Amino acid sequence: MTSNPPDHSGPGDGSDHRPELESVADFERRARSWLAAHGRRRVPGSNDSLALFPEWERPESATWVDDARMWLTARHEAGFAGITISRASGGLGLTAEHQHAFESAESEYETAPDEIWAIGHHMVIPAIDRFGTAEQRRRFIVPGLRGDLVFCQLFSEPDAGSDLAGLRTTARRDGDAWIVDGQKVWTSVAHVAHYGMLLCRTDPAAPKHRGITCFLVPLDSPGVTVRPIRQITGGSAFNEVFLDGVVVPDELRLGAEGDGWAITRTTLNLERVSLSLAGPNTDPTRLIALARERGVAGDAVVRQSLADVVTRRRVTELTSARVTDVSRSGGDPGPLASTLKLLSTELLRTMGHTAALILGASLVADTGEWGTYAWGRQILETAGLRIGGGTDEIQRNVLAEGILRLPRDPRPATASEV
């Protein structure tokens, strides 16, 4: 876990690069010019990895956090950080479409794994911008945008993953502080984060969707223990976090006491959108090139499967554009965010099926050939994305109830009702 850096809070640099009416096209041209001058383009075929999560077991991971901080600092100083964050909080105050344009261009360049900052920039910082006090916005947003602070999300629990409102981690008021006890699981970057966005039950007598409060907890606090989780791939991209009598000052409470569920819903929608994949690991051209290399591009079944991937990718991109339009107009994507998340995971599942169809035994036998055995990792990790941000089954329930207006699932009986 990284120790807290000096406080660099305050308004950000690059204010000359925040034109209120700059078109997306002009913004993207300016961004691409900066990226070309300061970044290093990805070379197709230079990296065999198809991992969907950071491979922290790799030797080069030792420099990732420092590399990410240097990149984010440069990006902030150039005026490309906090694109959708309000100007009052140190952001650019532009639209989700501007952000998508920059991130699409940035994905063409080599950077430290964006998972290091994605949770902070896509979920935690927007939540602080919307729900935080003036002091919290001053203290956390610009340092987070610059890379001086890394954030993680402490939501899921061993018995409260898909049913997040059933969380059991508690926070008990003690004067001007709260005493937190509980456990969180499947936490990305917790081992390098400075703060965690923490959900706790503060009123055990309230209905389960109420009585939940959100905090920003320092992860170097006494009583916080972070342990890596070994996954099916052999790596450890996630952690479990134990909180044993952790003292959290009330000034680090985000939003009003008992209003945690409203923050949760907003953050989960942001998470579902951020988990929708449009990066290099879902680019159909790599699968097409693989089919040609293996000499099966003319096979009718393979061609049909490739066409399915291309179609799903395009539908996902169009749905992402719809979400962008809703967000740009100030609306709540709601069930549309669940649609996008579900389309993204189905795209990954279809890509894995197609890779298996093309590769056969080469998928599971490492012969050292580029672009063969590496697909196994993507297939295994797809299961994680079908769980993170709400399982596929939860997304379908959201669509059934929010769009089709079907009745809710029956509530399981409690022990007292049996």
Residues tagged active-site = 271
Decide if 139 contacts 125 (C-beta within 8 A). Answer: no
**Which residue type, as a one-letter code, is found at position 268?**
L
Q: How far apart are CA 375 and CA 367, in angstroms?
A: 13
**Which residue type, as a one-letter code, is found at position 251?**
E
Q: How far apart are CA 50 and CA 59, in angstroms?
A: 17
Q: Which secondary structure element, helix H or strand E, spans residue 199, and what is its range?
A: strand 195-201
Decide if 357 contacts 302 (C-beta within 8 A). Answer: yes
Q: What is the DSSP string of 114-162?
A: THHHHHIIIIIHHHHHHH--HHHHHHHHHHHHHTSS-EEEE--BTTBSS
Q: How far apart are CA 395 and CA 295, in angstroms?
A: 38
Q: How far apart are CA 94 and CA 19, in angstroms?
A: 9
Decide if 320 contacts 339 (C-beta within 8 A). Answer: no
- The phi-psi region of residue 391 (left if phi > 0; otherwise alpha if psi is between -120 and 50; otherwise beta) is beta
- Closest C-alpha to 97, from 264, 273, 250, 216: 273
